[in-house]
Amino acid sequence: MFEIFYLMKESAVKKIAVLTSGGDSPGMNAALRAVVRTANYYNIECYGVREGYNGLIHDDFLKMGPRSVKNIINQGGTILKSARSVEFRTPEGRQKAYNNCVKHGVDALVCIGGDGTFTGAKIFNEEFGIRVIGVPGTIDNDIFGTDNTIGYDTALNTAMEAIDKVRDTATSHNRVFFVEVMGRDAGFIALNSGLATGALDILIPEKKDSMEDLFANFRKAEKTGKASSIVVVAEGEKLGSIYDLANQTKEEFPDYDIRVTILGHIQRGGSPSCADRVLASRLGYGAVVGLMEGKTNVMAGMRSNDLVYTPIEEAIKKHNEINKDLLLISEILAI
Amino acid sequence: MFEIFYLMKESAVKKIAVLTSGGDSPGMNAALRAVVRTANYYNIECYGVREGYNGLIHDDFLKMGPRSVKNIINQGGTILKSARSVEFRTPEGRQKAYNNCVKHGVDALVCIGGDGTFTGAKIFNEEFGIRVIGVPGTIDNDIFGTDNTIGYDTALNTAMEAIDKVRDTATSHNRVFFVEVMGRDAGFIALNSGLATGALDILIPEKKDSMEDLFANFRKAEKTGKASSIVVVAEGEKLGSIYDLANQTKEEFPDYDIRVTILGHIQRGGSPSCADRVLASRLGYGAVVGLMEGKTNVMAGMRSNDLVYTPIEEAIKKHNEINKDLLLISEILAI
Amino acid sequence: MFEIFYLMKESAVKKIAVLTSGGDSPGMNAALRAVVRTANYYNIECYGVREGYNGLIHDDFLKMGPRSVKNIINQGGTILKSARSVEFRTPEGRQKAYNNCVKHGVDALVCIGGDGTFTGAKIFNEEFGIRVIGVPGTIDNDIFGTDNTIGYDTALNTAMEAIDKVRDTATSHNRVFFVEVMGRDAGFIALNSGLATGALDILIPEKKDSMEDLFANFRKAEKTGKASSIVVVAEGEKLGSIYDLANQTKEEFPDYDIRVTILGHIQRGGSPSCADRVLASRLGYGAVVGLMEGKTNVMAGMRSNDLVYTPIEEAIKKHNEINKDLLLISEILAI
Amino acid sequence: MFEIFYLMKESAVKKIAVLTSGGDSPGMNAALRAVVRTANYYNIECYGVREGYNGLIHDDFLKMGPRSVKNIINQGGTILKSARSVEFRTPEGRQKAYNNCVKHGVDALVCIGGDGTFTGAKIFNEEFGIRVIGVPGTIDNDIFGTDNTIGYDTALNTAMEAIDKVRDTATSHNRVFFVEVMGRDAGFIALNSGLATGALDILIPEKKDSMEDLFANFRKAEKTGKASSIVVVAEGEKLGSIYDLANQTKEEFPDYDIRVTILGHIQRGGSPSCADRVLASRLGYGAVVGLMEGKTNVMAGMRSNDLVYTPIEEAIKKHNEINKDLLLISEILAI
């Protein structure tokens, strides 16, 4: 049936290359594995390109088969390595990259990464007509066209487990902790990890915060007898740096024992969660199948448990909205 | 706005009771916390009932406030305890239960649990007219009306991490492991944890399996040079007990070093994952808000990231379908 | 035998109080549980004192029995809460504290904590003659008289797991990470977590470091083809702040992509490891038995798997030496 | 100093081979890494032998350098694979093995494993005079001459975490769980994981157990109001299979809701704990240094934090004693 269908029909691609680019995220290896094994299953040749677009430019291609991706589904990071390529931003760089694709007879690219990665893929496709398909691999979940990005669920659990630990100390010492989680432009990690750890307040770029509101929450907490508190702050919070927030709070509440913790890069690593491994497997598969069906300049995503393809342009321009209910709920539950 | 709306309108309920029933699942405490704190926020009195329906029958009610649910969002199990109540299956038992609800002036029940729990709630509502709302708390994910049940994501990660460990040994010894995961009637845990751990084959009640197909996969694996394999089997697999499967495989492949591992009850416990804590918080909130809006005999669920209410009858009768793509993908990727 | 012995002999104490003081560490709850249940077993009354020495001063005593410490063996932090008491540093404060001990008829104190905690206990004993016994609870492992302090093993695993995650990113991006772990005066956490994560270099207060040596290691690593590196730095490193080290390295190696991560307070929390739960159980038991035997002004510790008692003065003054072999081994293995 | 010493002196070995044999344990890879890199550091050639003694017999040697063991310190299992070799038990098999050692000019063997592995090494040394040194890698901790074996600490934490999860369910349902942990002849895992999880009773081969004592503990627990219980049973318990124990308990206490869980092979896998990685690194280093110093037919171990060498014969014949205090303490604390 489904499967037979592809085996019979003529695939639009014969030889593909896959790369991981931008910030790494847990599950990139699982996506890579899915791309390589799906290609193999449908008799499509597959190259891995090292260090993102730099590998295209410097001809760092390696032939990949089913065994070259064994035992990586559970590993964080990416065995192909990743990089942000300055040279690929130049026409000369992209020309070199294209020449190498031609040289290896690669007729399509699977680009695993985030915004920047997709922008590069889009331009590359428009300039040289080579087929490209994107797979959303980033912990920030700031890509449109998929409910979750690969690595997001793992990062949520990493942040949550770290905050759970901080909370042991906060409770034991009646302290106030300001915890910064990743998310330059998106508050998804902060909002969900904050809700999951019973944070007193959650400060994210998408909502207008004020010190007055924060202070009000502290006062409310005092009334209800809450002895310790955690405030989760997204990296990109507009109200100020986490140190500013902590200092202003200390001025308002001199008695508070206030500490700052920045979770930092631990959020990018680690063995992917089950949800991320499954998502990565489905999207890696979906990318190859999409190319076989002749799709290009699109991103493979999962929405409501269905495989969908979104024009890359849309995926970059539009953004998943923060769920307003979650803000209200986190406020109600942090009593 | 949204919030104000409720504060202004007249709530359909004044005093509610919440209970956890059936097999426990990680996140039940987070759901309980959300019910209690949301009720408190909207000035609704809230009782906790211990040991499920037995607590209703034996008048084991305790008044709960925001502080009674502190520091439980990250704890597995349920502080209200759970039980399967034989007495509640009798009219006499339910009459006693109703009398206690009347005695305490409880005008609505939030029932956190699975199939059995919901059946009880439905009958109780039909017999006595008391408002009931269900919250799906079970690791099996076999409830219709919600994309995921509370505890399912945590159980997936627990099963996956255990299989990852088994795999270290399998690989080091070139062994074949048959691993049984939970799921009497549903293969969700087996399918997803199997896909996430690169299982050679996944045997679930929803699909027609045969020893021939399994043996064929072993032979295919040998050809591709796969030295060790893991076969994930759902508890409810129809082909036979996991020991039968292992023995028949041993007869077919006498050289294989075959082992059986049954993960068992570790899959029910543990600190809930971030996804489960967030889901539980949203559904606990949704249950109270649903009752305030006058809903009854329904279950609160999340579908495509939206809060939805499904008639309990439907939630029990219908079932989430296993995703056929996943079966194909797991087969393709297990090369 | 052993047990009977105590039941027969006359115990030197009838009523004890236990407190946790100073920085919290994973396993304090397990130690507390052991103190309370051992006391109960030998028919000794037991009080818990909240917030360390402050609780003594402000009469925050609570009667504790076997059930008051149930389900805490696996919890980080301390249910008695901890605090650094300024008031206890004054004769007036200690006088108040003593009066409350007399008032409750407490004839001995079990003090769970680190250096500061023990200093306080020692003075308290010398001034008022009340029996005191110390239990080493700190993640820093900087207490003499015990091979490991309670919480140290858990902190090692927390730091190691965090560095493992950082390493996924480091490897994927060919980056250099400077990771700061806890340890103001002691490099135990840095040395062991660094060795366990294959750190290129480990900078600790106990050894004379130089930027030249660090740079030499970077150059050696380049030669051997090591593409990414992690440098683990103890909080108390004398060579400079972790940011200074990173900046100087950047000046020397402008091409390096260098990042800094400070693990911070996550190292104090979390569910205790098995080794810490067992250690805490043995020392909590040992503290009570020590008091029964008439010991005072000593600390209970484990050395070479034996329960030993060390004068508190020694425990504070002397220090466990960093194992020189470990420094050599970490250098050899980080090739 | 120390280091220079070796560089100057003449090493007793020029070319060594390392193998892992018997049941795998977490940390074998870390030990292997230490052997290979220490050898490299002291300019000793190093071969890895695959699948234990079988690799010696079938000439499965591979040259190993510092890079061949990168990124394995955190991985469970063994990249050299392990096996129990029947052929090596025959003189013919060992002759073949010796011929291959001669062929490759290997003048010493590092054998990582347990009892069986060491017995093989001893005979091999006695028959052919080839130098051998043992490194204790087994989760059972049943080797004399080292405080802990490599993998034991990790297995303890794996068992403990699994039992913690089981406990969530036990508590929620007022159930009694019988949990079987590994340990055919040794109760170390059972005793320590049982103590660390507050088990009501711990049944191990080293102590004379009786159903009467077990039942007495259940009755005592009922009196103290303990609603749920966990009984940890070592694989090698003499009183009967875990199912027998559960059934007899059910007969005695018909009202109990009793369940059985067998943790099984998850205890052998997983990323090694910090303690195991450090131990493995020190022993791998110690094995090479021991061979350089001319030692043979000994095992490298750590006792009281010192590197010690024990004649293999002793390591096999003698056994670490179960700590009697621990039995008493676990009984006292399980009130």
pLDDT of residue D193: 98
Do D15-151+272-317 and D153-268 show the same overall fold? yes
pLDDT of residue A335: 77
Is residue B51 classed as helix, strand or coil in its secondary structure?
coil
User: Which amino acid makes up residue B218?
Assistant: F
Q: β-pairing, C298-303 with C306-311? A: antiparallel
Q: Which residues contact D245 (CB under 8 A, 6 or more apart)?
A: D178, D203, D211, D214, D231, D233, D237, D239
Q: b vs e for B278-309, b when ≥16 Cβ sit within 10 Å of the residue's Cβ?
A: bbbbbbbbbbbbbbbeebbbbbbbbeeeebeb
CB contact, 8 Å: A177 with chain C?
yes
Nearest CA to CA, how far is A278 from chain B (Å)? 6
Q: b vs e for D187-209, b when ≥16 Cβ sit within 10 Å of the residue's Cβ?
A: bbbbbbbbbbbbbbbbbbbbbeb
Q: Which residues contact D235 (CB under 8 A, 6 or more apart)?
A: D180, D181, D182, D183, D184
A positions 247-276 inside 8 Å of C (CB): 259, 261-270
CB contact, 8 Å: B50 with chain D?
no
B5-45, pLDDT tens digit by residue? 555 467 889 999 999 999 999 999 999 999 999 999 999 99
CB contact, 8 Å: C192 with chain D?
yes
Instruction: Give the chain C residue nearest D3 (alpha carbons).
Output: C328
Band of residue A9 on the pLDDT scale cut at 50, 70, 90: low
Average pLDDT of every residue of chain C: 95
Instruction: Give the chain B residue nearest A33 (alpha carbons).
Output: B333
A36-79, pLDDT tens digit by residue? 999 999 999 999 999 999 999 999 999 999 999 999 999 999 99
CB contact, 8 Å: C103 with chain D?
no
Asked if residue B117 has pLDDT above 80, the reply is: yes
CATH number for the segment(s) B15-151+272-317: 3.40.50.450
Q: How many CB pairs under 8 A join C and D?
A: 131
CATH number for the segment(s) A153-268: 3.40.50.460
Burial (CB count within 10 angstroms: exposed 0-12, middle 13-18, buried 19+), residue A254: exposed
Band of residue C9 on the pLDDT scale cut at 50, 70, 90: low
pLDDT of residue B98: 98
B278-311, pLDDT tens digit by residue? 999 999 999 999 999 999 999 999 999 999 999 9
Asked if residue C6 has pLDDT above 70, the reply is: no
Asked if residue C245 has pLDDT above 80, the reply is: yes
Nearest to B59 by CA among B19, B112, B29: B19
Region B215-236: what's the mean pLDDT?
A: 92
Strand-by-strand arrangement of the B45-49 sheet: B61-63, B45-49, B15-20, B108-113, B131-136, B298-303, B306-311
Band of residue A2 on the pLDDT scale cut at 50, 70, 90: very low
Can you tell me which residue has the tokens 């840095």? C190
Tell me the DSSP string of A182-195. S-SS--HHHHHHHH
Rounded-to-10 torsion of CA C66, C67, C68, C72: 100
Tens digit of pLDDT at every position of chain D (335 positions)? 344 455 545 788 999 999 999 999 999 999 999 999 999 999 999 999 999 999 999 999 999 999 999 999 999 999 999 998 999 999 999 999 999 999 999 999 999 999 999 999 999 999 999 999 999 999 999 999 999 999 999 999 999 999 999 999 999 999 999 999 999 989 999 999 999 999 999 999 999 989 999 999 999 999 988 889 999 999 999 999 999 999 999 999 999 999 999 999 999 999 999 999 999 999 999 999 999 999 999 999 999 999 999 999 999 999 888 888 999 999 999 97
Contact C158, C76 (CB under 8 A): no
pLDDT of residue A272: 98
Distance CA B144, CA B317 (A): 8
Q: How far is CA A90 from the centre of its chain?
A: 25
Contact check, Cβ <8 Å, D165/B262: no
B-chain CB neighbours of A171 within 8 Å are: 71
Q: b vs e for C256-281, b when ≥16 Cβ sit within 10 Å of the residue's Cβ?
A: bebbbbbbbbbbbbbbbbbbbbbbbb
Contact check, Cβ <8 Å, B166/D77: no
Nearest CA to CA, how far is D78 from chain B (Å)? 6
Average pLDDT of every residue of chain B: 95
pLDDT of residue D9: 59
D-chain CB neighbours of B173 within 8 Å are: 24, 81-83
D-chain CB neighbours of B243 within 8 Å are: none
Task: Tell me if residue B140 is catalytic.
Answer: yes
A-chain CB neighbours of B164 within 8 Å are: 74, 271
B-chain CB neighbours of D26 within 8 Å are: 168
pLDDT of residue D225: 83
User: What's the pTM value of the predicted model, to 2 decimals?
Assistant: 0.96
Q: State the chains in contact with A (3 or more Cβ–Cβ pairs under 8 Å).
A: B, C
pLDDT of residue B9: 60
CB contact, 8 Å: A225 with chain C?
no
Region C186-199: what's the mean pLDDT?
A: 97
Region B235-248: what's the mean pLDDT?
A: 96
Asked if residue A200 has pLDDT above 80, the reply is: yes
How many angstroms separate the Cα of A286 from the Cα of each of A118, B58, C312, C334? Answer: 16, 54, 66, 41
pLDDT of residue C2: 45
Domain boundaries, chain D: 15-151+272-317, 153-268
Asked if residue A231 has pLDDT above 90, the reply is: yes
Contact check, Cβ <8 Å, D329/C34: yes
Asked if residue A3 has pLDDT above 90, the reply is: no
C64-112, pLDDT tens digit by residue? 999 999 999 999 999 999 998 999 999 999 999 999 999 999 999 999 9
pLDDT of residue D84: 87
Given the cut 0.85, state whether the ipTM is greater than it. yes
Q: How far is CA C276 from the centre of its chain?
A: 10
Annotated binding-site residues of A read 23, 33-37, 84-85, 114-117, 138-140, 167, 175, 182-184, 226-228, 235, 259, 265-268
C280-318, pLDDT tens digit by residue? 999 999 999 999 999 999 999 999 999 999 999 999 999
